[in-house]
Amino acid sequence: MAGGCKRSAMSKKPEATIETLRISRLAHKGDGVAETETGQIFVPFTLEGELVSAKVQGQRAELKEVIEPSEQRIAPVCKHYGACGGCSLQHMGEASYKEFKRQHVIDALAARALDVPVDDVVLCDKGSRRRAVFAAVKAGHKVLFGYHTAKSNMLVDIEECPVIAPEILKAVPGLRKLAGEILSHKGELKFTVTTTQSGLDVAITGMGKNKEKRYFDLSQAAVANNLARLTVDGETIIEIRAPLLVMSGVSIPIPAGGFIQAALSAEQAMGKLLEEGLSGCKRVADLFSGAGTLSFKIAQKSNVHAVESEASSLKSLMQGLRQAQGLKKVTSERRDLFRRPIVAKELDNFGKGYDGVVFDPPRAGALAQAQELAKSPVKKIVAVSCSPASFARDLRVLVDGGYKIKRVVPIDQFLYSPHVEVVALLERVS
């Protein structure tokens, strides 16, 4: 009992106080940092140099008033900003916004002792996000459909969103109605909505056994909302039209909830970098290829071997390939590159292996694969990542293995969030 009392006392939150704070810098997640006698305090929605009033509890604070605003402060573009947890940087002017994201990449590289030039950030337009993930719950007789607030399970019922494609936002009322028909009073559903050439592709998770009683209602709702496909907990309920995405001129029937680049303009920017980074390569390994997001661009000039662990993604890639014309040879392999990376001997294949490699892993990065690449004779590498930290770690391995970083380009396809995509071009020099 005494131990239990002690733990309870230790876990008691400090009492909240209202304080006036000067923001000295921004942390990598975009929160302002105030240096005080008792340590750092993190204040969301603030900018460097601002004097603010905040409700402080421990190291975290809630912004109450901006007493002396920065010249870089602008009005948010969304009515839900500050409540919705999807965006945290709408108060930043473009110059400071771009520099924040670029500095995030520079700091990650510097933490691995990589002092290399970093290009200006490539920005994506508002309304260009072609996938959104919504949550839906019942609150009494009302259905809430939207995004969670930052650091809580509360849900913001959205009426607007400047980030997502207009066709997704237009579908929200109909999807909210559907959620109300299939939700239990205690459960929460997740709706992954993707724009495709054929219409919206919607994947719902969280229904469990309830879906067995709702097949007819779900099918009717898909027709009423003019969806291309509706999938529930991995099972296709109805496919009215195959949901197609065009990747470098090739129409791909995407798997439900499968990986895609968040914005088409980001994918196109990556395509240009691939051309630059793989110039002269005859045979390229596309690692963590997904459904061919980058494979088909590479195949315009080089033979490609696409490697991916998800069978559904490879199936989509091969279906698209059957319709493609004018490409070099494309082969595929299902392989878990975390557990079984392509080793240096395979990459070399007695001098007949790959002269180029592209890797675009999940946030955890590709450490095991980078270690094998560092031992290989591959001439050119294009590294892509949504995590600057794991990206820098993997680049450090490659540089130590004899590669030189030729270019680093941040791509902002996660608009108004602290996240940033990064592409690096490398060449073997020793």
Binding residues for S-adenosyl-L-methionine, by number, are 261, 288, 308, 360
Tell me the binding residues.
Answer: 261, 288, 308, 360
What is the phi/psi pair of residue 269, to 5°? -65, -40
**Which residues fall within 8 angstroms of residue 1, CB to CB, at 6 or more apart?**
none
CA–CA distance from 165 to each of 126, 127, 181, 287 (Å)? Answer: 8, 4, 25, 29
Of 192, 358, 323, the closest CA to residue 247 belongs to 323
Cβ(138)–Cβ(180) below 8 Å: yes
3-state secondary structure at position 380: strand
Give me the amino acid identity at 185.
Answer: H
Q: Rounded distance, CA 24 to CA 9, Å?
A: 33
Nearest-angstrom CA–CA distance, 328 and 12: 63
- To the query of whether residue 124 is one of the catalytic residues in this protein, the response is no
Length of the chain: 430
- The answer for residues whose C-beta is within 8 angstroms of residue 303's C-beta and 6 or more apart is 282, 283, 284, 328, 329, 330
C-alpha R_g of the chain: 24
Catalytic residue among 78, 161, 281, 386: 386
- Locate 217 and state its tokens: 């209602």
Per residue in 216-228, is it b (16+ CB within 10 Å) or e — as a string? eebeebbeebebb
DSSP output for 167-224: HHHHHHHHHHHHHHHH--SS-EEEEEEEEETTEEEEEEE--GGGGGG-HHHHHHHHHH
Q: Which residues are catalytic?
A: 386
